Amino acid sequence: MATTAALSASFRTKIIGALRNVADVTKFVPYLSLHTGDPSTTGANEVTNGTCPGYVRKAVTLGGDVAGLSKNTTAVVGPTASGDWVQTSWYGLWDAETSGNFVGKCQLDTAKTVLSGDHYEFAIDAIQVTIN
């Protein structure tokens, strides 16, 4: 469904800080977000419950590091839309279900519009995260 997610500059800086022992990186559950355009480095263009009735971020379970790559080990199934959603073309990862810090982004292979009564779904191994 998508290619490998690129981590945000701010998150990479946190990782480097942790390696240098000058900053802490607290473990967290990643949450998947949907975006109408490039989220940039801040998580911009995230859809809202106003433009996508029923939308919420969904938790992602990532597997262990295999040669610098981690993939989702369970499907990520979005909520049932209570109205037609706007077209989304990117997904993002956050460190919280609401608000929080933007972690990374990836452009979808194909833009998707979720219609009322439907949901989005990312199959196992569809979300891939790498540090590069």
pLDDT tens per residue across span 47-88: 999 999 999 999 999 998 888 788 999 999 999 999 999 999
Distance from CA of residue 97 to its chain's centroid?
11
Of 84, 83, 81, 82, nearest to 120 by C-alpha is 81
What is the arithmetic mean of pLDDT over 86-104? Answer: 94
The pLDDT confidence band at residue 1, using thresholds 50, 70 and 90, is very low
pLDDT of residue 128 exceeding 70? yes
Q: Which helix (H) or strand (E) holds 128?
A: strand 128-130
pLDDT of residue 130 exceeding 90? no
pLDDT of residue 14 exceeding 80? no
CA atoms within 13 A on the CB side of 90: 20
What is the arithmetic mean of pLDDT over 83-96? Answer: 95
Tell me if 52 sits within 8 A of 34, measured CB to CB.
yes
Q: Could you tell me which residues come within 8 angstroms of residue 70 by beta carbon, excluding any fewer than 6 positions away?
A: 62, 63, 64, 128, 129, 130
The pLDDT confidence band at residue 45, using thresholds 50, 70 and 90, is very high
Q: Domain spans of the chain?
A: 5-130
Handedness of CA 9, 96, 110, 83 (dihedral sign): negative
